[in-house]
Amino acid sequence: MGVEECKPIELPAVADPQGDLAFAEGENHVPFPIARVFYVYDVPAQAARGGHAHRALEQVVFCVSGRMAMAIDDGQRRLDVTLDDPRRGIYLPPMVWHDIGGFAEGTVYLALTSAPFDEADYIRDRGEFQQAIQAAV
């Protein structure tokens, strides 16, 4: 797995004069059954979030309001993504490091994940991530 597995996800939408509706179904619009949903809000413009990788968890991240930048890498290749459309997100497979920043004031982002929260699945140290990548080769 690596950044080549990171792919844009575009959700279907139903246009309505009273407000558009976008939706996601697990294993249909996202490539896994959805086990957890979380969102982050009240993000200061100068915030630095992410800063980790997951051993097994898959996720899709959407910026539902505002704008944010993601730097995604697999230890060899890097992908820079800007999210600013609530229908367009990015799929993150296991073992990709992601840093999130470049927030517009008032940004809200949403993540759909393949598993419930498990602290043991996180790699929060960049050196440990690099070692895990080398060990997998």
For the chain, domains (ranges, CATH) are: 3-136 (2.60.120.10)
pLDDT (0 to 100) of residue 136: 81
Q: Does residue 18 surpass a pLDDT of 80?
A: yes
* The pLDDT of residue 126: 95
pLDDT in tens, 86-134: 999 999 999 999 999 999 999 999 999 999 999 999 999 999 999 999 9
pTM: 0.94
* Torsion angle of the four alpha carbons 24, 66, 106, 7, in this order, in degrees rounded to the nearest 10: 50
Q: d(Cα 125, Cα 134) in Å, to the nearest integer?
A: 14
Q: Which amino acid is at 4?
A: E
- Name the active-site residue from 29, 52, 54, 98: 52
Tell me: the pLDDT tens digits for 29-64? 999 999 999 999 999 999 999 999 999 999 999 999
Name which of 6, 25, 22 is nearest 14 in CA terms.
22
Q: What's the pLDDT band for 137 if we cut at 50, 70, 90? A: confident
52 a catalytic residue:
yes
